[in-house]
Amino acid sequence: MSRSKLLYAHSGGVTAVINATAAAVIAAAREQEGRIGGVLAAHRGIVGVLHEDLIDTSGLDAAALARLARTPGGAFGSCRFDLPHDDDGKVMERLFAVFDAHEVGFLLYNGGNGSMDAVARLQAEARRRAHPLVCIGVPKTVDNDIVGTDCCPGFGSAAKYLATSMLEAGLDIASMAGPKGSVFVMEVMGRNTGWLAAATALAAGGDPERPPHIVLVPEAAFDEEAFLARVRETTERLGYCAITVAEGIRRTDGSLLMEKSHDARGYVQLGGAGSAVARMIHGRLGYKHHWAIPDYLQRAGGHWLSATDHAQAIAVGRAAVAYAVQGLGGTMPAIRRVRDAPYQWDMAPLDCDAIANLERTLPADFVRADGLHVTAAACDYIRPLIVGEFTQPTQHGLPDYRAFDLPRLGRRLAAWRG
């Protein structure tokens, strides 16, 4: 059997551990030297493939791969790009032309739901063309919304970061609580799902008097009056109230809570749900209000990784290479939970066709009936995913992240004019 190259690509938003997956893919592929003739990485994901902007990873030695595996962000660059359905196959044609020009026989695509759709479509296209390409999905998303896997690499570290942040900010605001009342709102990622918001509930350790006192998720409609009543009741009892808000919460009429405002030039601007909620409380109840928006910090926290998440990020990368050489095109390594405590898991190939473009939301029994918090079942599910610390080497007090030397391959095709 001929040796062909493996092409690896990040897809969509990056995470604190996606580089760990990348490093594992490269290391595992090198162990398959009888089957895999080298590893290329797309610069900026599938857009880089279209533009034939490909990185030669052969110069990354073991030390560089170890460093890559602990560096947050996506070292090869990523993008948000969905394969079009209405371009008469031009994008597909170009992708296969690039694969052929660079002897790519294996494509490992590291992303979320949309990426698994791309994997399924690319594999179907290869079948249609009787092309030998083997395309494997590799799960990644802080949103934890891929169907059919216990969890998604990237989520555990973001969950740990946010639960720790709520725990620590909660101690701060509790210190400052007084008779006038104060509220703290933390807005977390999650346009359609409340997984990251739910993770902050771990900060309370099961005690309803400890932060967060309220957790708002997109799966439960936001009822302003019921919410404010709970805020008032909590603040009157404790002197303060700490609240987690997923960015995508919606009112009972389905409208997003993100605030709308006009800037000095009249542009309509969307602000965050967190500041909207904090301002609502201040306006209606008069309490002192603070809000935090960790934004990118929550998905880039390499200084405080979940060791469990990091191990899973590596494992899915290695499994994807194994599936590739086994010819399991169109699949993704899915994580399966064997037991909760102690957490045990394994992996199995899952057909990307069956999960593409689906979205895993919080199950009904993870959201409290009043829609203002998550349940113990949600905490039991998330708890093992944040366990374990990871020691980063430091220099001058900061994690020792450094740039990588990523030489590009020469172009063999005409420029892409898509």
Q: Can you say whether residue 148 is alpha, beta or left, with left for phi > 0 and alpha for psi between -120 and 50 degrees?
A: left
Task: Determine which residue in the list 35, 160, 230, 373 makes contact with a second copy, applying CB under 8 A.
Answer: 160
Nearer to a second copy, 131 or 303 (CB): 303
Place of tokens 């069956």: 354
Asked if 394 touches a second copy (CB under 8 A), the answer is yes
Nearer to a second copy, 403 or 414 (CB): 403
Residue 362 is classified by DSSP as: P
Q: Are 150 and 267 in contact (CB under 8 A)?
A: no
Beta strand segments in 21-75, E: 36-42, 54-56
Q: Which of 368, 347, 152 is nearest to 244 (CA)?
A: 368
For the segment 173-192, give every residue that binds a second copy (CB under 8 A): 173-178, 184
Q: Which of 61, 82, 100, 143 is catalytic?
A: 143
Q: Are 358 and 147 in contact (CB under 8 A)?
A: yes
Site string for a second copy, 59-98 (x = CB under 8 A): ------------xxxxxxxxx-------------------
Q: How far is 83 from 9, CA to CA, in rounded Å?
A: 14
| Region binding a second copy by CB under 8 A among candidate stretches 29-37, 156-164, 360-368, 404-412 | 156-164
Nearer to a second copy, 101 or 174 (CB): 174
Is 353 a catalytic site residue? no
Task: Determine which residue in the list 301, 329, 333, 349 makes contact with a second copy, applying CB under 8 A.
Answer: 301
Q: How far is 121 from 109, CA to CA, in rounded Å?
A: 12
Nearer to a second copy, 167 or 316 (CB): 167
| Region binding a second copy by CB under 8 A among candidate stretches 52-60, 100-108, 288-296, 354-362 | 288-296
For the segment 42-61, give every residue that binds a second copy (CB under 8 A): 44, 47
Q: Is 32 known to sit in a ligand binding site?
A: no
For the segment 373-392, give every residue that binds a second copy (CB under 8 A): 383, 386-389
Please report, as a single letter, which amino acid is at residue 287: Y
Residue 163 is classified by DSSP as: H
Nearer to a second copy, 289 or 360 (CB): 289
Q: How far is 127 from 268, CA to CA, in rounded Å?
A: 47
Asked if 131 touches a second copy (CB under 8 A), the answer is no
Measured over the CA atoms of residue 307, residue 151, residue 248 and residue 80, the dihedral's sign is: positive
Asked if 357 touches a second copy (CB under 8 A), the answer is no
Nearer to a second copy, 132 or 239 (CB): 239
Asked if 275 touches a second copy (CB under 8 A), the answer is yes
Task: Determine which residue in the list 96, 287, 381, 401 makes contact with a second copy, applying CB under 8 A.
Answer: 401
Minimum Å gap between C-beta 212 and a second copy is 13
Nearer to a second copy, 231 or 319 (CB): 231
Asked if 300 touches a second copy (CB under 8 A), the answer is yes
Minimum Å gap between C-beta 350 and a second copy is 26
Q: How far is 329 from 130, CA to CA, in rounded Å?
A: 13
Task: Determine which residue in the list 61, 253, 263, 405 makes contact with a second copy, applying CB under 8 A.
Answer: 263
Cα separation values, 26 from 33, 44, 100, Å: 11, 17, 20
Beta pairing, strands 4-10 & 36-42: parallel
Q: Is 297 known to sit in a ligand binding site?
A: yes
Q: Is 280 known to sit in a ligand binding site?
A: no
Q: Are 183 and 278 in contact (CB under 8 A)?
A: yes
Q: How far is 5 from 39, CA to CA, in rounded Å?
A: 6
Task: Determine which residue in the list 368, 399, 409, 411 makes contact with a second copy, applying CB under 8 A.
Answer: 399
Q: Is 395 known to sit in a ligand binding site?
A: no
Q: How far is 405 from 14, CA to CA, in rounded Å?
A: 20
Beta pairing, strands 398-399 & 240-246: unpaired
| Region binding a second copy by CB under 8 A among candidate stretches 56-64, 113-121, 190-198, 290-298 | 290-298
Q: Are 66 and 23 in contact (CB under 8 A)?
A: yes
Q: Is 191 known to sit in a ligand binding site?
A: yes
Asked if 337 touches a second copy (CB under 8 A), the answer is no
Residue 265 is classified by DSSP as: T
The residues that are catalytic are: 143
* Binding-site residue ranges for Mg(2+): 113
* Binding-site residue ranges for diphosphate: 13
